[in-house]
Amino acid sequence: MKRLWKAGTALLLAALLILSGCTARAPAPEESVSSAPEEEGAMPEPTMLPREEVGELENLLLVNAENPVPDGYAPELYPVSGAYQMDADAAGSMLWMLYDAAAQGVDLMVVSAYRGTERQRQNFNNKVQEYISLGLSEEEAVEVTSQWIAPPGTSEHETGLAADIVTPGYQMLNHGFAETQAAKWLAAHAPEYGFILRYPEDKTEITGITYEPWHFRYVGKRAAREITERGVSLEEYLGVAGETYAE
């Protein structure tokens, strides 16, 4: 089982991340919701899903190191931004979230959504090789990489239910994104559209994944509000957080 490193190794990791410039740049290509103004250049109003149905579909599929993507799982994909696609359960609500954020002057930018298993494997292996080049053994490199990128078959991106979201003025996938207007808007409003911050800062020992203020997962509006109000992870919400990733 993937485990977080002990303190000594964590210090090594921190040093390596600084040396390697770990802050990755994003890849290239209810009552409070409001309508966007009708003006030239405004984002078109979504048509895939009626506004009154935003977040109504529920999908509580759990995918993590202990619960891989089910065999034969094949999401029905729908475009949400450029070439990025999400499962149909999530896509309509994502489109409304992007639209309403823009109407309120917040520019959200999807930089990753659905990724097939082969693409996930490529991303994972590339990061492993990066750490090996910095002097880690292969075993150590895999351990470190697993805290930042889920091994193939265990990533929420493979379900089409998750997206990485930044903003044009801050496209780095690092903790600094949490201080942006976009991140604060998402933290306040994402549950209205059925999305949760999947990897909170204080839940790393449960999720096994480091804090990712840019990674949002669709679960449905009812569950999203409950998870956010209770301050729990998806694992805790589903009652499967009995095992911890911490030593």
The amino acid at residue 114 is Y
Indicate which residue of 212, 229, 236, 243 is catalytic.
Answer: 212
Whether 212 is catalytic: yes
CA dist 116 to 6, 69, 119, 158, 239, Å? 32, 11, 5, 5, 28
What secondary structure, in 3-state letters, does 156-177 show? Answer: HHHHCCEEEEEECCECEECHHH
50, 93 contact by CB (below 8 A): no
The CA-CA-CA angle for residues 187, 217, 229, to 5°, reads 45
The residues assigned a catalytic role are 212
